[in-house]
Chains A and B, each alone.
Chain A
C-alpha cells in the first residue's frame, strides 16, 4: 500500500516557478506553514482546556505516588537517600519527570485519535508541509506536558523542596527538554501505530519500564550490577537526573565509572536524542499517507 501512495513532500513535487514569483511564493508558503504550526499548537491547548478529566487524571497519578508511595517508602528508608535527602524530597523531581513523560507520550496519542476520527486527513490534504504539522504537534504536546508538570510544582513546599527563582527557572528548562524529547518519541510511536488499542499496549511495555528504570523512584547508587547497567543505558535516566539536580543541588547525580556526568552533558544528550527522534518523526510522518 505504501508504494502506491504518493509519498513526495510538497516541495519536491513543486515545479520551478518563474524566478520573479519564486521569492513571493516562498514567502507565502513560509507564512502559511508558520501559521499552521501555531494553529496546530493552539489546538492542542484548546483540547486540553476542554477535557478537564485529562488534567485531573494527569495530576492524580503523580500525587498518589508522591504522597502515598513517598510517605510509605520514606518511613522504610530512615537514613534517607544518598546526598542526605529525605525520600519524599528525592522522589519529588522523579514524580515531576514521570508526569512529563506520561503526558508528553499521551499528547502524541492525539495523532492516533486524529487518524481514527478523520481530522488527520483534513490536515494531510491541505497545501502545507507535513513537517509543520509534526512541529506543531511536538510543540503542543511539549507545552501541555510542561503545563501539567508545573501544576505539580505547588506541591514542592509540602514535601520539603524549597525552590528559588533560579532553580525554578532551571527546572522549567529541564522539564521543557524532557517534554520535547518525549513528545518526539511519542510521535514516532504514533506514526507506527494504527489503532488506539495497540498504542495502550505499547505504553505499558515502553512507558513503565522507562520510568522505573530511570532513577525516578529509587536512587541509582548501590544497585545490583544488572540493574545498574540497564538504568545507565536508559536515556531517560539522564533527563530525570537533570530535572532532579535542577531542583536539588545536593542530589548525587549519575556517575559512569566514577565520572559524574555534568548537567550540561545531560542536557545536550536529551536535546540530541530529542532532535534525532523529531527528525525521524518528520520522516515517518511524510511517508504515512
Chain B
C-alpha cells in the first residue's frame, strides 16, 4: 500500500526522491494474543506533515511507540531518519522529538529548567542552549513565564511548552501523539499555528496522530488506521475524491416539481430531506449551473458539500469514527504509552 504520488511532495516510493524520513515495512506488534499493529507499511517524505487518523485503540500510539524505540516490534522493520529502530536505537532517539499524549513535564521545575534539562539530555552544547531556547519560548508565547514553575501553568501552556521542548534539540522528525487532546478549541488553533510556523521555519518532518477530522485535514497526507491496519493512505483531497459523490442540496419554491425536473433531465435519484432536495453527483460545482438550466421553479438556495473525512472513514471502515471509538474503550488499556512503563 504505497502512497499515491501527488503534486506538492516528492513520492517516497521512487528511488530518485530523497530518502524517506520515516519508512515502515510490514510492522507488526502483538501483545499476547492481541495484534495492536497488523502489518503496517508506509513512508513519510522529509518535510512532510503526515497524520495517522483513527479511533482510540486503533494502533496509532503503538506504531509511534515502536518508531520512537519505546516498544520493540514483533515483526517487520522501520527506519527513522535513515536509522533502524531496532539496531540503531540511540541514533533514532537522537534524531527525533516526541510530544507525548500525556504531559511529561516536571511541575516543580520552571519552564526554562524543563527546556534546559531536555537540551542537556539531547547533547545540545551548553553555549547554544540559551540561544535555542529564546526563540522557541517566544514562539509558544511563554517568554514572560519562563521563570515560573510549570505547576502554575494551564493545560494549554504546558502543552505549548512540551512542543517547544520537543524542538529544542532541532529534531529531524517530530512525533506528536494527539498533541491537542483535551485542549479547548482556541488553544488547539494556537497549537496548529505553531505547527504551521515550525514547518515553514525549520522544515521539520512531522508525524502526528489524531482522531480529530479537522486536524487530519491539515496534513499533507494521512493514513487512516483502524484495528491495527492502514485502510487508506493519501492526501486528504484524494481520499475525499475517492469517496466520490458531492452532496448538492436545493431549497426551491416547488420541491415536487423541481424533483421531477431534475430526475427527468439527469436521470438521478432526488431525495427530499429536511425540507430540501438532496442529490449526489460526482462533481457538484459543475452540476449546479446545468441544474439551473432545467429548473423552471424559483430556487431559494443551493449548497454543495464535498465529502468529508468522516465520509472517507465510513467508506473504509463501515462506521463513523465516533462509533469506532465507543467500541475501542477497552483497548485503551492496551495503550503501550500507558502500560509500557508500569510493570505489568
Question: Which chain A residues have a beta carbon within 8 Å of chain B's beta carbons?
Answer: 1-2, 4-6, 8, 10-11, 13-15, 28, 31-32, 35-36, 39, 43, 46-47, 50-51, 114-115, 117-128, 192, 194, 288-289
Q: Name the interface residues of B80-123: CB closer than 8 Å to any CB of A.
A: 86-91, 93-94, 98, 100, 102-109, 113, 116-118, 120-123
Q: Are A289 and B108 in contact (CB under 8 A)?
A: no
Complex: how many Å from CA A36 to CA B106? 15
Minimal Cβ-Cβ distance residue in B for A1: B344
Q: Name B69's contact: one of A6, A11, A31 (CB within 8 Å).
A: A6
| A13 contacts B87, C-beta separation under 8 Å | yes
Whether A51 pairs with B74 at a CB distance below 8 angstroms is no
Q: Is B343 a contact partner of A126 (Cβ separation < 8 A)?
A: no
Question: Out of A6, A15, A194, which one reaches B72, CB within 8 Å?
Answer: A6
**A1-B344, A2-B343, A289-B70 as given contacts; A127 in contact with B123, CB under 8 Å:** yes
Residues of chain B whose beta carbon lies under 8 Å from any beta carbon of chain A: 29-31, 68-72, 74, 86-91, 93-94, 98, 100, 102-109, 113, 116-118, 120-123, 126, 149, 337, 339-344
Cα A124 to Cα B65 with chains together (Å): 12
Instruction: Tell me if B90 and A288 are in contact (CB < 8 A).
Output: no
Task: Contact check, B71 vs A124: say whether CB atoms are below 8 A apart.
Answer: no
Q: List 9 A-B contacts (CB under 8 A).
A: A1-B340, A2-B343, A14-B89, A36-B121, A46-B109, A117-B104, A117-B107, A121-B70, A125-B70
B123: contacting residue among A4, A31, A118, CB under 8 A:
A31
Contacting pair A8 B89 (CB below 8 A): yes
Chain B residues whose C-beta falls within 8 Å of the C-beta of A115 in the assembled complex: 341-342
Q: Which residues of A contact B109 (CB under 8 A)?
A: 43, 46-47
Q: Shortest CB–CB separation between residue B66 and chain A, in angstroms?
A: 9
A118 & B89 in contact (Cβ 8 Å cutoff) = no
Q: A115-B342, A125-B70 given as contacts; is B122 within 8 A of A14 (CB)? A: no
A126 to B68, CA, bound (A): 10
Question: Which of A39, A121, A288, A289 is in CB contact (< 8 Å) with B117?
Answer: A39
Residue of B nearest to A10 (CB): B90
Q: Which of B31, B90, B342 has the most CB of A within 10 A?
A: B90
Instruction: List A contacts of B87 (CB < 8 A).
Output: 13, 15
User: For B69, B107, B344, which residue has the most chain A Cβ atoms within 10 angstroms?
Assistant: B69
Q: Which residues of B contact A28 (CB under 8 A)?
A: 123
Q: Please, how many angstroms separate the alpha-carbon atoms of A217 and B328 in the complex?
A: 57
Closest A-chain residue to B97, C-beta based? Answer: A125
| CA gap between A1 and B34 in the complex, in Å | 12
With a 10 A CB-CB cut-off, give which of B102, B337, B341 has the most chain A CB atoms.
Answer: B341
Q: Given A5-B340, A50-B108, A127-B121, are A121 and B90 neighbors across the interface (CB < 8 Å)?
A: no
Q: Is the CB of A126 within 8 A of B89?
A: no
The 9 closest A-B pairs by CB, nearest first: A6-B72, A118-B104, A126-B121, A127-B93, A10-B90, A127-B94, A32-B123, A122-B104, A13-B89
Contact yes or no, B68 A125, CB < 8 A? yes
Contact B106 A119 (CB under 8 A): yes
**Minimum Cβ distance to chain B for residue A46 (Å):** 6
* A6 lies within 8 A of B89 (CB): yes
A13 near B120 with CB under 8 A, answer no
Cα distance, A71 to B149, chains bound together (Å): 43
B340 and A118: CB pair below 8 A? no
| Complexed CA–CA distance, A192 and B343 (Å) | 8
- Asked whether B340 lies within 8 Å of A125 as measured between CB atoms, the reply is no
**Which B residues are in CB contact (< 8 Å) with A118?**
100, 102-105
Q: Chain A residues with Cβ under 8 A from B120's Cβ?
A: 32, 35-36, 39
Residues of chain B with a CB closer than 8 A to A124's CB: 70, 341
User: A50 near B149 (CB under 8 angstroms)?
Assistant: yes
A128 touches B104 (CB 8 A): no
- Within 8 Å CB of B88, what residues of A? 13-15
Collect the chain A residues with CB atoms within 8 Å of residue B74's CB: 4
Q: Which of A1, A2, A14, A289 contacts B90 (CB 8 A)?
A: A14
A202 vs chain B, min Cβ distance (A): 15
- Point out the residues of chain B lying under 8 angstroms from A117, CB to CB: 104, 106-107
A4 touches B31 (CB 8 A): yes
Residues of A within 8 A of B113 (CB): 43, 46
Residues in A whose Cβ lies below 8 Å from that of B104: 117-119, 121-122
Q: Say yes or no: A125-B93 contact (C-beta < 8 A), given A6-B69, A39-B121.
A: yes
Q: Is the CB of A10 within 8 A of B89?
A: yes
Question: Which residues of A lie under 8 Å from residue B121 when comparing CB positions?
Answer: 32, 36, 39, 123, 126-128
Residues of B within 8 A of A127 (CB): 90-91, 93-94, 121-123
* Distance, CA A39 to CA B87, complexed state (A): 28
- Bound together, the chains give a CA A7 to CA B104 distance in angstroms of 21
Using known A-B contacts A2-B343, A50-B149, determine if residue A119 contacts B105 with beta carbons closer than 8 Å.
Answer: yes
Complex interface: chain A residues within 8 A of B118 (CB): 122, 126
Look across to chain A and name the residue whose beta carbon is closest to the beta carbon of B165: A122
| A191: nearest chain-B partner, CB-CB | B343
Least distance between A257 CB and chain B CB atoms (Å): 42
